[in-house]
A and B are shown apart, each in its own frame.
Chain A
């Protein structure tokens, strides 16, 4: 499916999606956290979309809000899509896990939790993965301060 068809398809699946293609080579779909899991599972299992390969899962700190980014592709239909989840709550950011759909998300979500502090609901084993268990703060957030390890210049 090309981007236009994908847009129409997603509109039939959810009414909360915003689209943007600006500054990116893929179709971007921006959705609120509560719409993620249902949309993701229909994207994976729908015969028109079949997004079976989550090739990148990242977090972004946009200062005003946090964001998790899911790069999806279909190994069979060869189309690619970027799902972005906007999370406005910086204090207690929460989003549903997708690791029941794509197993690779288990490690990637742990990494996002580790570095951004975004909690993934229903994740089987949400712990820090790269940093020590007793690390304070979430380093990839823009407001993270570490006077010992980071030299400002």
Chain B
């Protein structure tokens, strides 16, 4: 038998996962090298949805370039917008009204919640529990309704402009947000019952897709994925922006580094987000919803870097200005791009089914990676 096995010619087995595949969540293509079902290598091929946002931004005015960013990570569009606005405001040295800061923070956290809800639903679906998807969407609906009332859009909101917000909040905003918090606090234990406590789920995620802290830092894996490996990388805590210095919240860190830890980080982060909103929602100060800005913004010579925490990790906006009405160079350091680079290290030795679980816990959004 041993002889026979040695004589037999074996070949590595390649599979193209994507660009059209149900669990790559968009047009990501992974070249898998397999030995049976065991993964030897994962090679991501990107760019299927590259829209040259950085090149386009060089042609646009500062007002216009903000609106391209919610097409990057469409699930945390508000936070992306906020990052660019903060960078531009940093360049203009603009004093932003407190009201704007509060509203931005509340909506950022709502965005984060809605993103995590969708992630939770999709994560369940990737592991074969389709019902979770509908549960996630059920609760997300309330948030998108709030967004719709606030600015007219449900997904790509474009609510931020350099200097403040597009409009003031709707009179119902506070009431509806509080209603949502009350509703969602009741529903969150349901999430735990359906997935976290399920033995099949824990078996599928525990000790799967291990990423050490050193690797996480080296690969630049930020956000909940990095914090699941014990990498304290929450920008909200370390370099507070908007109103994050005025609220208290815990930076969720798990040190296990497996898929389950990344899952738990996001589950706990939802609770923290609710807590942040609760602290702010009754204390929104009166004032303008926008600082005065000129019709044509010209940033002074120099370079401006703004880091924010999106639902997926650290987004960096790097603007180089040469004192013209459009930026000289814009670079978006998107969280998904760096997070994806760690996939190969995580996936080696696992099974195809594990790869799907790992990709879900990395929470990839492909437009965010390809820009």
Residues in A lying within 8 Å of B, measured CB to CB: 22-26, 52-56, 58, 60-61, 69, 71, 75, 78, 102-104, 106-108, 111, 115, 128-132, 139-140, 150
B307 within 8 A of A: yes
Chain A residue contacts of B46, Cβ below 8 A = 129-130
The complex places the Cα of A61 from the Cα of B322 at a distance, in Å, of 13
- Which residue on chain B has the smallest CB distance to residue A58? B331
| Mask of B342-363 contacts with A, CB within 8 angstroms, 1/0 | 1001000000000000000000
Number of interface residues of B (CB under 8 A): 40
- Which residue on chain A has the smallest CB distance to residue B316? A56
Which of B50, B220, B300, B340 sits near A55, CB closer than 8 Å? B220
Contact between chains at A55 and B314 (CB < 8 Å): yes
- Which residue on chain B has the smallest CB distance to residue A153? B59
Q: A56-B331, A71-B333, A102-B220 are in contact. List 16 more A-B contacts (CB 8 A).
A: A23-B302, A55-B222, A55-B316, A58-B318, A58-B333, A61-B329, A71-B318, A102-B218, A103-B218, A104-B338, A104-B341, A129-B47, A132-B47, A139-B52, A139-B55, A140-B55
Contact between chains at B307 and A103 (CB < 8 Å): no
Contact between chains at A71 and B220 (CB < 8 Å): no
Residues in B lying within 8 Å of A, measured CB to CB: 46-47, 50, 52, 54-55, 59, 90, 215, 217-220, 222, 231-233, 238, 300-305, 307, 314, 316, 318, 320, 329, 331, 333, 337-338, 340-342, 345, 370-371
The complex places the Cα of A131 from the Cα of B371 at a distance, in Å, of 11
Contact between chains at B231 and A75 (CB < 8 Å): yes
Chain B residue contacts of A130, Cβ below 8 A = 46-47, 50, 370-371
| CB of A68 to closest CB in B, whole Å | 11
Report whether over half of chain B's contact residues are helix, strand or loop; otherwise say mixed. mixed
| CB of B87 to closest CB in A, whole Å | 11
Contact between chains at B318 and A53 (CB < 8 Å): no
Contact between chains at A140 and B54 (CB < 8 Å): yes
The complex places the Cα of A53 from the Cα of B307 at a distance, in Å, of 14
Contact between chains at B320 and A107 (CB < 8 Å): no
A75 with B54, Cβ < 8 A, contacts A56-B316, A107-B340 known: no
| CB of A104 to closest CB in B, whole Å | 4
A23 with B316, Cβ < 8 A, contacts A54-B220, A139-B52 known: no
Which of A25, A60, A128 sits near B329, CB closer than 8 Å? A60
Contact between chains at B55 and A106 (CB < 8 Å): no
Chain A residue contacts of B329, Cβ below 8 A = 58, 60-61, 140
Chain B residue contacts of A52, Cβ below 8 A = 217-218
Chain B residue contacts of A23, Cβ below 8 A = 300-303
A53 with B220, Cβ < 8 A, contacts A107-B338, A130-B46, A140-B54 known: yes
